[in-house]
Structure 1
Amino acid sequence: MLRRLSIHFLTLASIIGLGLWFTTASAAILSPGSNITLNGTTLATDPNLAGTVVHENLIGFTLTDPSGATLLTGNYLDRVIRSTNTDQLIFSGRIQDLANVGSSSMGVLDWSVSGFGGYQTDVEYRTDDLLGDIGPETALRSSDGDNVIFDFFIELEPPETSLPSSIATDATLFDLTGTAFLSLENLISGEELEIELDGLAAPSAVPLPAAFWMFGSGLIGLIGFQRQRRKS
C-alpha cells in the first residue's frame, strides 16, 4: 500500500507542477499501450455521453481466501449506452454494495475490462452520478488494446461505491463475451487477491455497410450473367 501511495503522490505532484489538473474534462482517447490521468466528466461537458441504456446487468461477486472463507461481497453494474448524438456505444461499469465479512478488511486496487481490441476508446468516469463516492485516478490500456484498466488513487473500501466508468467507443454492436478482473488488497496484511467476472458487455464486430452488400450483389449478378453467356 505504501508503495502504491508513493507512486500516486509522485504522479499527482508532477501533474500539479505542470498545471494540468482540472476538475472536469471531456473523455480522452486511450490508445493501446498508453495511460492517461482521469479527472471526471459530465453530460454538460461531453454531450455525446447522453443516450439510451440498451443493456444493464448487476453481477454479484464473492471474494474468498484459499481456505474458502468469505472475505468480501459486492456487485458490479455492467451497462451499455447508445449515444444519441453518435449512435455508437458507451460501456460503463460501477463497483457497488461492497461489504467486508467478519473481521476482514479488503479494498479494491483497480479493475480491468476486456474486449476492446480494434476499437477506439474515449475513457473517463462520470462525476454527475449521485450514487458514486470515488473515481479511478488513471486508466491504462494493454499493448494489444484489448484491456482497459482503471486504477484507484486510494483503495475503494466498503461501503464505498465507485463512480461509473465511461468507455465511449466507435462500436455499434455488442455481445456478452467481455471479462472483468477486480484486484483487491488486504488492508492489514497487504496480500493481493483477484476476482474474475464473466459475461460482461463488450464491443462486437461491426457489420459491413449496406453499400458494400449492394456492390457485392451487383458483382455476383454480373458474374452469373457472364457465366450464362459462356454457357450459351
Structure 2
Amino acid sequence: SFVALRRIVEVHRGALDAYFAAHRRELEALLVDAFRLRDVALIADLSLLEFPVGPFFERHQAEIDSVLLYRWLPNKCWTELGTLRNEVQRWSFPAFFERSRDRSDDFVLSIIENGYWFDLQNLAQLSFDFQSFFERRFEQVSRAVLGFIETPRPHFVLLRELSALSFPWARFMEEQRDRIAHAKDDDFLQFVISLEGFEVGSKVYGVVEQTCRLYHSMASQLFHPGPQAEHLGDGAASG
C-alpha cells in the first residue's frame, strides 16, 4: 500500500529509485492519465514517494500545461489545483502562468468581468501575479470595475477583493474621475474600495452570511419548536 511504501521511503531515501528508473515510461504515462482524469491523489502520492516529477514535468510540460489550462482552470477545479500546489513541490504555478500568460490573463479577466470574487481568492492562493496582471490588462479591468461602480448596487465584495489584490486605484481614480463623479458619492466609493479600518469583501460577506444563518435558525426555533419545547409547553398547560 502507499502508506507502507511511504514509510520505506522515509527510512530509506531513494529506496524506489531503481524501480522508478526501470518503469519510467509506464509511470509517466500513468501520471499523464492522472492529470487528464484529475486524479490529483495519485499525482501527490507519487511525488511523496520521490518519483522524479521534475524531469517528468520537463518532458511533458506542453501536455500538462494544456490539461490545466483547458480543463482544470475552466472547470474551476480549485481543490485539485490547490493540492497540486501544496503537495507537489516541483510544480510551479508562477512559471505555469507565465508560460500561458495570454490565455491565463483572459481567464482571470473573465472572472473579474463576471464578478466572481471568490475565484480571485483561489487564484491568489495559486500565486497568480495580480499586480503584473493589472499593469498588462489595466484598461480592460478598469472597464469592468467602472461597470460595478456605476450599477445601482455596487459590487462592494468584488471591489474590496481587488483592493486586497493591490488594484491600482490611484491610477484608476485619476483616469476615471469624471465618470465616477456622476455615478457615486466620493465618500461612499472610498468606503467601498478602502481596506483601512474594514475587513476585505470576502470577510464582510462571511459575516453577513453567518448572521443570516443565525436569524434563520432563530426563526426556525420560534415557529417550529422542537420536541423538548413542546413537552415543556404541554406540562405547563396540564399544570
Report the TM-score when normalising by structure 2: 0.28
Higher strand share: 1
Bigger radius of gyration among the two: 2
Larger RCO, structure (CA 8 Å, separation 6 or more): 1
TM-score when normalising by structure 1: 0.28
